[in-house]
Amino acid sequence: MTTPELRKEFTEFFVKEYGHVPVKSSSLIPHNDKSLMFTNAGMVQFKDYFRNPATAPFKQATTIQKCMRAGGKHNDLDNVGYTPRHHTFFEMLGNFSFGEYSKSKAIQMAWRFLTQVVKLPKDRLRVTVLASDQESYDLWKNQEGIPEDRIIRCDEKDNFWTMGEGAGPCGPCTEIFWDTQNDDLGEDRWLEIWNLVFMQHYRNDQGQLENLPVVCVDTGMGLERLASVVQSKENNYETDVFGPMFDGLHKIMIDAGIESSRDINATPHKKIIVDHLRAMSFLIADGVIPSNVGRGYVLRRIIRRALRSGNQLGFSKPFMTDLYPSFLDSLKDGVYPDMVARQDSIKGVIHQEEEIFMSTLSKGLALLEPIFKQKDLVGSKQVPAEIAFKLYDTFGFPLDLTVLIAEERGWTVDLVEVEKLRQKQQEQGRASWRSGSNTVFLTKALEWKEQGVFPTFSGYRRELLSGQS
Ligand code: ATP
Ligand code: MG
Ligand code: MG
Ligand code: MG
């Protein structure tokens, strides 16, 4: 099955067979939720219904939610390119009940979907439950007939789901894993595909757990992971989701005179580029603009990390917008029309950011590379804080990018020292702000405002005008 088929099968299963209401994905920018940087799960748009099920316009819903995990509690930015299963942007298939059905039905539906609709062999699946959740354990064992050695009891770290660090609905979960049968992968032999959360509590601002009026159900399954299993691939990147983008990347590398092989696993960089291209495009389409604060800064980091990976592959000029058409090819079932309709604006933002950073990237790298050979430093294997700070301040290297490059060599960066330098500079900056000098960001922002760039991007304008992100 292709990913468009999986989307369709999933939605039809819950709508036609079990009467769920199909609800559109919400924006990557959570609505009315200051506690969360990005929508990181399907439940985010329904958060309030768990607490007050009576206010929900439907008792059960199904979604295919755009998710971003590049900041806050759920942050997979550093995993991208290095694990078979993590993206920054991904799609989460989910079904939800606001007091309508029980654990028993939630478990039964998930098992039916995987074993009867998608037809995964039962003996390659295993499940985990929260150690204290005997009810779920018994349901898997008695209702679905899963042998006891395939039901693993776990602690709260793994099987108690919370959306973020602050207040919010939460509860025990039971997860379904696929056996890749690859012993070389260690713990990763078992691929987590679906998480069924039983929302039973609300963690209040003081961190105490209150009981919710009724148990609600919130499930989430990564579409790309399901596709990797169904299409018998070793990692998400080998699925049809990414095929067109890797083809496009291969082609633009050849066109640029860069050697390229079809092997996408040879370096992490091709994976980082295709992952980050999706992430940046969806973020921009939802109204985020690169900036030096908040969401805008996460976007900037994503773009700059992708550009650095491009540099590692051999690109010396902006290339990301040349890859955009193959990104659109990967969406050709028309599931995200915004990405086509807004392509000029999206490409414009990416291109501008590329122009800014590409000009300083190689100069910054030229400063950093010799450090790894410097005799007095190879003992400690630590990049001096002044260098990391200069890269950040003068060359626009997000700190995590410097850390990433250092880690590739087995080096570290003294982040505490860098932070001190940053604070010192900020104090000086504040002094000069008061004395009337300007900042690049403010000038740029006012310019954009005057030009009325991206008039449809209300999120951006709100952020810009209120000076926050
Ligand atoms: P993992 O342990 O693999 O990091 P998780 O436990 O953090 O996953 P959940 O919060 O339970 O993930 O999210 C529900 C589902 O969403 C997961 O079972 C998985 O299928 C999918 N998923 C989670 N994070 C990612 C990601 N970064 N990229 C792709 N799919 C993801
Ligand atoms: Mg995770
Ligand atoms: Mg997990
Ligand atoms: Mg999980």
Return d(Cα 202, Cα 210) in angstroms, integer.
Answer: 5
Average pLDDT of span 457-468: 31
CA of 192 to the centre of ligand 3 (A): 6
Whole domain around residue 214: which residue ranges?
A: 3-230
Tell me which DSSP letter residue 139 carries. Answer: I
Task: Give the confidence band of 435 by pLDDT, cuts at 50, 70, 90.
Answer: very low
Average pLDDT of span 57-62: 97
| Residue 426 domain-assigned (yes or no) | no
- Does the beta carbon of 92 lie inside 6 Å of ligand 1? yes
Q: What is the pLDDT of residues 18-36, one digit of tens each?
A: 999 999 999 999 987 877 8
| Statement to judge: residues 199 and 50 lie in one domain | yes
Structure confidence at residue 466 (pLDDT) = 32
Average pLDDT of span 313-328: 95
Provide, rounded to the nearest whole percent, the portion of the chain with pLDDT above 90: 77
Asked whether the predicted pLDDT for residue 452 surpasses 70, the reply is no
- Taking the alpha carbons at both ends of the chain, their separation in whole angstroms is 40
| Statement to judge: residues 216 and 247 lie in one domain | no
Asked whether the predicted pLDDT for residue 453 surpasses 90, the reply is no
Task: Give the confidence band of 167 by pLDDT, cuts at 50, 70, 90.
Answer: confident
Residue finishing a domain among 230, 258, 292: 230
| Residue 383 domain-assigned (yes or no) | no
Structure confidence at residue 147 (pLDDT) = 97
Structure confidence at residue 244 (pLDDT) = 97
| Statement to judge: residues 95 and 19 lie in one domain | yes
Asked whether the predicted pLDDT for residue 106 surpasses 60, the reply is yes
When the pLDDT of each residue in the chain is averaged and rounded to a whole number, the result is 89
Return d(Cα 139, Cα 302) in angstroms, integer.
Answer: 42
Q: What is the pLDDT of residues 300-313, one digit of tens each?
A: 999 999 999 999 99
Residue-wise burial string across 373-410, b where 16 or more C-beta atoms lie within 10 A, e elsewhere: eeeebeeeebbbbebbbbbbeebbbbbbbbbbbbeeee
Asked whether the predicted pLDDT for residue 468 surpasses 70, the reply is no
| Residue 375 domain-assigned (yes or no) | no
Please check whether residue 264 is in contact with residue 271, taking contact to mean a CB–CB distance below 8 angstroms. yes
| Residue 150 domain-assigned (yes or no) | yes
Average pLDDT of span 337-342: 94
| Statement to judge: residues 202 and 246 lie in one domain | no
Query: Best of 64, 73, 85, 162 to mutate for ligand 1, by most ligand atoms within 8 A of CB?
Result: 85
Does an H or E element contain 200, and which?
Answer: strand 190-203
| Residue 390 domain-assigned (yes or no) | no
Question: What pTM, to 2 d.p., does this model score?
Answer: 0.88
Please check whether residue 306 is in contact with residue 280, taking contact to mean a CB–CB distance below 8 angstroms. yes
CA of 201 to the centre of ligand 3 (A): 20
Return d(Cα 306, Cα 309) in angstroms, integer.
Answer: 5
Asked whether the predicted pLDDT for residue 446 surpasses 80, the reply is no
| Residue 458 domain-assigned (yes or no) | no
| Residue 434 domain-assigned (yes or no) | no
Average pLDDT of span 162-172: 86
- Does the beta carbon of 84 lie inside 6 Å of ligand 1? no
- Does the beta carbon of 224 lie inside 6 Å of ligand 1? yes
- Does the beta carbon of 94 lie inside 6 Å of ligand 1? no
Structure confidence at residue 432 (pLDDT) = 53
Provide, rounded to the nearest whole percent, the portion of the chain with pLDDT above 70: 91
- Does the beta carbon of 69 lie inside 6 Å of ligand 1? yes
Please check whether residue 139 is in contact with residue 86, taking contact to mean a CB–CB distance below 8 angstroms. no
Residue finishing a domain among 206, 230, 254: 230
| Residue 90 domain-assigned (yes or no) | yes
Q: What is the pLDDT of residues 216-245, one digit of tens each?
A: 999 999 999 999 999 999 999 999 999 999
Structure confidence at residue 163 (pLDDT) = 75
Write the ipTM. 0.99
Please compute, for residue 326, the number of CA atoms within 13 A of its CA located in the half-sphere on the CB side.
22
Query: Best of 90, 127, 160, 224 to mutate for ligand 1, by most ligand atoms within 8 A of CB?
Result: 90
Please compute, for residue 192, the number of CA atoms within 13 A of its CA located in the half-sphere on the CB side.
17
| Statement to judge: residues 225 and 248 lie in one domain | no
Residue finishing a domain among 202, 230, 258: 230
Nearest CA to ligand 1 atom 3: 192
Nearest CA to ligand 1 atom 26: 86
Average pLDDT of span 408-423: 91
| Statement to judge: residues 221 and 250 lie in one domain | no
Q: What is the pLDDT of residues 134-144, one digit of tens each?
A: 999 999 999 99
Structure confidence at residue 55 (pLDDT) = 94
Q: Which atom of ligand 1 is nearest to the CA of 76?
A: 27
Rg (CA), the chain: 23
| Statement to judge: residues 113 and 258 lie in one domain | no
Q: Given the DSSP bridges, would you call strands 160-162 and 168-179 parallel, antiparallel or unpaired? A: antiparallel
CA of 102 to the centre of ligand 2 (A): 26
Please check whether residue 381 is in contact with residue 410, taking contact to mean a CB–CB distance below 8 angstroms. yes
Task: Write the burial class of residue 283 (CB in 10 Å: 0-12 exposed, 13-18 middle, 19+ buried).
Answer: buried
Specify the CATH number for the domain of residue 67. 3.30.930.10
| Tokens representing residue 346 in the block | 């999206």
Total domain count, the chain: 2
CA of 221 to the centre of ligand 1 (A): 7
Structure confidence at residue 162 (pLDDT) = 87
| Statement to judge: residues 252 and 182 lie in one domain | no
Q: Which atom of ligand 1 is nearest to the CA of 87?
A: 28
Task: Give the confidence band of 71 by pLDDT, cuts at 50, 70, 90.
Answer: confident
| Statement to judge: residues 36 and 171 lie in one domain | yes
Higher pLDDT, 360 or 431: 360
Asked whether the predicted pLDDT for residue 455 surpasses 80, the reply is no
Return d(Cα 243, Cα 5) in angstroms, integer.
Answer: 16
Average pLDDT of span 98-118: 97
Structure confidence at residue 332 (pLDDT) = 82
Asked whether the predicted pLDDT for residue 83 surpasses 90, the reply is yes
Cβ partners under 8 Å of residue 433, min gap 6: 439
| Statement to judge: residues 182 and 290 lie in one domain | no
Structure confidence at residue 431 (pLDDT) = 63
CA of 151 to the centre of ligand 2 (A): 20
CA of 160 to the centre of ligand 4 (A): 9
| Statement to judge: residues 262 and 207 lie in one domain | no
Nearest CA to ligand 1 atom 5: 192
Structure confidence at residue 7 (pLDDT) = 97
Structure confidence at residue 153 (pLDDT) = 97
| Statement to judge: residues 152 and 213 lie in one domain | yes
